[in-house]
Amino acid sequence: MTRRSVDWQAVTAKLLAMRHALEDLQLIGVDLGWWEQPQASGDRTDVPSERIKALAVERILILVVDLAVDINNHVAAAVLREVADDYKLTFPLAAKAGMISRELADKLAPSAGTRNILVHQYLDVDPHRIVLAASLAVEQYGDYVRQVQAYVQNKSGGR
């Protein structure tokens, strides 16, 4: 693998996109109470606005994980000369590169599995599981954005 440098502008642009996606999750109002009050049919997903909200949440979760994986592999390739061929394995690489803490990497790695379930529609996903994943994403990926932003500031000279 040839040596390449980190494209700080690309990393910063992806962090901004991730921050916006996380803000969108908050605007949607993702919380566990979202699914608690069934409609007459007994299933909130029978209401078109709720189905649209659920699809938006799923798409945002996929986007956030994809952005993180792109950042992880890009930095790992430049700094460590390593890339992962599995989404989950990019998080330990990000920690190894010093971009995020090992603790955060361990928390975020399972989100790759959630992303795969959503993308490939492996099974009928429990809406409560998606709401929980979204709530965790706001918190944990918020930490990711802060840690990676600090790394970028430190390594890029504030560019």
User: Which positions are catalytic?
Assistant: 115, 120
Cα 151 to Cα 5, 50, 54, 67, 100, distances in angstroms: 15, 38, 33, 16, 8
Q: Which two tokens stand for residue 127?
A: 């809406």
Distance (Å, rounded) from C-alpha 71 to C-alpha 73?
A: 6
